[in-house]
Chains A and B, each alone.
Chain A
Amino acid sequence: MQYEELYIRYSRQLKLPELGLAGQEKLQQASVLIVGVGGLGCPAAQYLAAAGVGRIGLLDGDQVEASNLHRQVLFLEDDLGRNKAEAAQEHLSRQNSHIKIEAYPEHLSASNAMNYFQAFDIVMDGTDSFTSKYLINDAALKSGKPWVYASIYKYEGQLSVFNYQNGPSLRCLFSNPPWKEIRCEITGVLGVLPGIMGVKQAAEVLKIILGLGKVSAGKLKLYHLLDDEVQELRISRNAEQIKRVMDKPLEEEKMHCEFAHTHFTYLDVREPEEMPKGLAPHILTIPLSELRNRQKEIPFDRDIYVFCQSGKRSREAIHLLQKEFGFRNLIQVEGGIFALQNGR
């Protein structure tokens, strides 16, 4: 870009004395990988591209769906069915043709994460699953990259910068993902919330690149949309958690993902008094003692993952349902709820 063109284009941020031409040069030299180009990733990508971040990688294996449009405002109706990373690349390149925008139309995995992370300075989390967030965390630790985390639940958002200047990681906050996955597709979300959180993430990315202000490392910001309140909790680095990641090969938290996946159906055969409250709608609860009378409630047409407390009764339940009612679609969750909760 010609100096004059650059000067005009970025004039409003160049005027900030903390930024100036030196700051713009830092932005031009910087590279950011956005993992997940959805509710969080879209607004972040838009502001980072507009600010002149020199190289932006967009990683997403999903297609634009009609139900995305209310919050992923970068996408147009014409984009339905297109890969998100590719559609976003096209729009962003038209917003700023002077920066490099790379589309990677695939999902983050344990086998590709290290290659991607090593090729960028900063990673921004725009994902919506525990599996992805923990994979980002572990790959960021192993590749020594800071990453900007955000998560939303209904009207609440969490934000932090992890692995920044020897700060804490996601596992220092939550050592393991929970056994229950909650997603927008079940809980619902107002489009502005990921918009706000994604823009906050972009602000953290810019602060890291420019060395401006206080980066939100070592603290978790909790935002509540309905009363516009932000609270802050301090997180300390847990050396043991970090060592645990460094000592083992990179792997995905698979069991949780499978268990939590809303496309799967589960059957909980524990007795009512030991069942946890608030289970998701895709988990059927029929105690072993009532199984014979209520077997008609169990679908035949899809795989059902059967679990109990330890794995003993689910085996019994499957045996009973197969022998007496001819079920052929039952899969036992080895080790029961304990295994699910501990990620084994």
Chain B
Amino acid sequence: MRIRIKYFGWIAEQVNKREEDLELDLNSLNELKDYLKNKNQFQEDSSIRYAVNQELVDDAKLQDNDLVALLPPFAGG
């Protein structure tokens, strides 16, 4: 299935893009997290939050054409 991923903050910087479409065979957000961890394109941090279709969640079932956002906290002002 196709998942659109949006990267924010320093994650976007480390993966060097703000969004991408991935063709993947997986069922849940947790599987996607593992997949991204293995790709090792950005620094893992337990504070990163994930949103599926604009809803912040810890885990969720993923379906074709879902939109997943990766959000790191930042504190500039």
Q: Interface residues, chain A, CB within 8 Å of chain B?
A: 36, 38-41, 125-130, 132-133, 150-154, 156, 158, 173-184, 187, 189, 194, 220, 222, 224, 231-236, 276-278, 341-342
CB pair A235 B56 closer than 8 Å: yes
CB pair B75 A38 closer than 8 Å: no
Number of chain B residues whose Cβ lies closer than 8 Å to a Cβ of chain A: 27
- Docked complex Cα distance between A344 and B10 (Å): 24
With a cutoff of 8 Å between Cβ atoms, the chain A residues found around residue B40 in the complex are 277
Q: Verify if B54 is at the interface (C-beta below 8 Å from A).
A: yes
Nearest residue in B to A234 (C-beta to C-beta)? B55
Q: How far is the CB of B44 from chain A (nearest CB, A)?
A: 7
CB pair A130 B73 closer than 8 Å: yes
CB pair B54 A178 closer than 8 Å: no
Q: How far is the CB of B68 from chain A (nearest CB, A)?
A: 11
Nearest residue in A to B40 (C-beta to C-beta)? A277
Question: In the complex where A233-B51, A277-B42 touch, is A153 in contact with B77 (Cβ < 8 A)?
Answer: no
CB pair B76 A152 closer than 8 Å: yes
CB pair B10 A153 closer than 8 Å: yes
CB pair B75 A177 closer than 8 Å: yes
Q: Interface residues, chain B, CB within 8 Å of chain A?
A: 6, 8-10, 13-14, 18, 40, 42-47, 49, 51, 54-56, 69, 71-77
For B45, give its contact among A126, A152, A178, A231 (CB under 8 Å). Answer: A178
- Docked complex Cα distance between A243 and B2 (Å): 39
For B44, give its contact among A40, A128, A276 (CB under 8 Å). Answer: A276
With a cutoff of 8 Å between Cβ atoms, the chain A residues found around residue B76 in the complex are 128, 151-153, 182-184, 187, 189, 194
With a cutoff of 8 Å between Cβ atoms, the chain B residues found around residue A153 in the complex are 9-10, 74, 76
With a cutoff of 8 Å between Cβ atoms, the chain A residues found around residue B18 in the complex are 224
Chosen A-B contacts, 26 in total, with CB atoms closer than 8 Å, are: A128-B75, A128-B77, A130-B75, A150-B77, A151-B75, A151-B76, A151-B77, A153-B74, A154-B13, A174-B47, A175-B47, A176-B46, A177-B75, A178-B72, A179-B47, A181-B75, A182-B74, A184-B76, A194-B77, A220-B56, A220-B71, A222-B8, A234-B54, A235-B56, A278-B14, A341-B46
CB pair B56 A236 closer than 8 Å: yes
With a cutoff of 8 Å between Cβ atoms, the chain A residues found around residue B8 in the complex are 156, 222
CB pair B47 A178 closer than 8 Å: yes
Q: How far is the CB of B43 from chain A (nearest CB, A)?
A: 5
| Residue of A129, A181, A231 with highest tally of chain B CB at under 10 A | A231
